[in-house]
Structure 1
């Protein structure tokens, strides 16, 4: 039971995303208009916080659910103490990057958080220079390494800016939250 308790935050996060998705679907995706991130707009500034909970379709929410569950699970097992701080840095700095430099579309989705966790897990092993985080970095690189191409412009309708700034914020979070002897 104690092991399952560790993952409660992740189950709650995924549950909130799907409840918001149901409300959004029922309202014709009106929540995206009200709470989506609109770059360089004061009205869209709250989207920095709300963007990860909003999605453009059922397919979009489903596509983000698996990597959120997998990378969130890896974070829970390997870096449980820093998950809240790392996630806050990723959502805050990544969202701010999109708000400052993103294209004029409404940005929604948890992919910035996904790419942030990806960047954090990759960078953490290199920054901390300890065996377990380094092994996690290698494993994440092997399984999810192709994600790196998602930070480049390419697909219409995909916020590559969220991917880029999320990954960059994740790397910064790994540096800011390092727990090795040099940081102490």
Structure 2
């Protein structure tokens, strides 16, 4: 599904316009509002549930009972350190992803969660429970980078490069490692972002040829 130039949010995609800055500000406030919800879920899980929410809502690879984690696992975390580590990157990449349009953001997030979650469920270690928003974070990074390429947007490319420089030390987490992290979720999340950027790209409006009305010319008398 492609979004053409008739998209009412097209002005907000143009860097430097008032609509762009307004969209960026709204996106930042929205993402900042999401983080307290994640902290509330973690508090309920650790304070009341004793960590049972992670097992109930996490992805358990190749177990039917863990398939619902595709939807719920991004909202759960293995501990406060895990959540703290994801909070700031989620605000950062989420803000720029959301600024590109609410509808595109919602559909893109769904695709990222689906690709990352189902992929982990298929190829992950069946003895583990996978939780966390990091797959979505890597997905937004892939979304911004690919969106910059397919939409020829220097702004999105610059943002992706800037975020990559800030968190370059985390990029190795898309490769196999012995650490207790789901590198599969990170890699597949990145892939999901690439797919979403292509599916929901915004096409530039085609330039219409100028129409000239016929005119008459009065010849000077001979």
Q: TM-score, normalised by structure 1?
A: 0.88
Contact persistence 2:24–2:99 (CA under 8 A): no
Find the counterpart in structure 2 of residue 138 from structure 1.
161
The gaps in structure 2 that reach 5 residues or longer are 1-21, 206-222
Return the match for 1:164 from 183, 187, 192. Answer: 187
Which residue is 2:147 aligned to?
A: 124
Task: Find the counterpart in structure 2 of residue 94 from structure 1.
Answer: 116
Q: RMSD of the TM alignment (CA)?
A: 2.2
The structure with the larger Rg is 2
CA contact (8 A) 1:129 1:180 kept: no
Deviation at 1:145, TM superposition (A): 4.0
1:74 deviates by 2.0
Distance (Å, rounded) in 2 between the aligned partners of 1:164 and 1:6: 25
Q: Which residue of the partner structure matches residue 112 of structure 1?
A: 135
Map of 2:95 onto structure 1: 73
In the TM superposition, residue 58 of structure 1 has moved relative to its aligned partner by 0.6
Runs (5+) with no aligned partner, structure 1: none
Give TM-score scaled by structure 2 length: 0.74
Structure 1 Cα separation of the partners of residues 160 and 84 of structure 2: 25
Contact 1:121/1:140 (<8 A) preserved? no
Partner of 1:39 in structure 2? 61
**Among candidates 86, 91, 99, match of residue 64 of structure 1:** 86
Secondary structure at the counterpart of residue 133 of structure 1: helix
Task: Name the SS for the 1:153 alignment partner.
Answer: coil
Aligned to 1:154: 177
Aligned length: 182
Moved over 4 A (4+): 1-5, 78-81
Q: What corresponds to 1:11 in structure 2?
A: 32
Q: Distance in 2 between matches of 1:98 and 1:2?
A: 33
